[in-house]
Amino acid sequence: MGNIFGTLNTGYSGLKSHQTAMDVTSNNVANASNENYTRQRAVMTNAVPLNTTPGDLGLGSQVSQIVRIHDEFVFQRYQSADNAMENSGYKQEVYNTLNTYFPEVDQVGIHKDLQNYFNSWQSLSENPDDGALKIDLATYTQTLSNSIQNTREKVGAVQDSINEEIEVAVNEINRLASGIADLNEKINTNEAGGFDNANDLRDQRDALEKALNKLVNNSITKTNLTSQTNIDPNSVDYNEDYTLNIGGFNVVDGDGYHPLTLNKENNPQGFYEISYKRKDWKEFPMEDVITGGRLGAMLDMRGRNYSEDKGGFTDGEVQKTIDGLDKFAKGLIESTNNLYAQAPTTKMSSSVDINANYSVLNSDVKVNEGSFEINVFNANGEKVTTKAINIDAITTFDAAGDPNSIVSKINSDLDDNADQNANNDVDDFINASFKSGKLVLELGNSFETQGYSFNITESDAKNPTNFAGALGLQRYFQGEDASSISLNSTLRDNPGEIESGVTPNSGDQKLANDMQQLQYEKVNFYSLNSGELESQETLERYFTLVAGDTASRSADVDAVHDSNTALFNSVKTEFDSISKVSLDEEMTNLIKFQTGYQAATKVITTLDEMINSLLQLK
What pLDDT, on a 0 to 100 scale, did the predictor assign at position 1? 47
Q: Provide the whole-model pTM.
A: 0.87
DSSP per position, 275-297: EEE-TT--EEE-TTT--SHHHHH
Rounded Cα gap, residues 542 and 302, in angstroms: 23
Contact assessment for residue 20 and residue 605, using Cβ atoms and an 8 Å cutoff:
no
Residue 279 lies in a domain: yes
User: Could you tell me if 265 and 351 lie in one domain?
Assistant: no
The candidate with the shortest Cα–Cα distance to 346, out of 436, 435, 425, 447, is 447
What pLDDT, on a 0 to 100 scale, did the predictor assign at position 225? 60
- Tally of domains within the chain: 2
Residue 518 lies in a domain: no
User: Could you tell me if 78 and 120 lie in one domain?
Assistant: yes
Domain boundary (456, 473, 490) is at 473
User: Could you tell me if 104 and 184 lie in one domain?
Assistant: yes
Count Cα neighbours of 317 within 13 Å in the Cβ-side half-sphere.
27
Cβ-Cβ contacts under 8 Å for 587 (sequence gap 6 or more): none
Residue 404 Cα distances to 104, 392, 469, angstroms: 50, 9, 21
User: Could you tell me if 377 and 412 lie in one domain?
Assistant: yes
What pLDDT, on a 0 to 100 scale, did the predictor assign at position 229? 57
Residue 587 lies in a domain: no
Rounded Cα gap, residues 178 and 251, in angstroms: 9
Contact assessment for residue 140 and residue 490, using Cβ atoms and an 8 Å cutoff:
no
Residue 137 Cα distances to 144, 275, 469, angstroms: 10, 52, 20
Ranges of the chain whose pLDDT falls below 50: 1
Task: Give the rounded distance of the alpha carbon of 269 from its chain centre.
Answer: 16
Rounded Cα gap, residues 299 and 82, in angstroms: 18
Residue 25 lies in a domain: no
User: Could you tell me if 396 and 336 lie in one domain?
Assistant: no
Q: At what angle do helices 131-190 and 293-302 cross, to 10 degrees?
A: 150
Q: At what angle do helices 72-99 and 199-215 cross, to 10 degrees?
A: 30
User: Could you tell me if 277 and 226 lie in one domain?
Assistant: yes
Contact assessment for residue 205 and residue 71, using Cβ atoms and an 8 Å cutoff:
no
Backbone phi and psi for residue 593, each to the nearest 5 degrees, phi listed first: -70, -30
Range of the domain at 377: 344-473
145-187 pLDDT per residue, tens:
999 999 999 999 999 999 999 999 999 999 999 999 999 999 8
Long-range contacts at 459-464 (CB < 8 A, ≥ 24 apart):
459/370, 459/371, 459/372, 459/373, 459/388, 460/370, 460/371, 463/368, 463/370, 464/338, 464/368, 464/370, 464/372
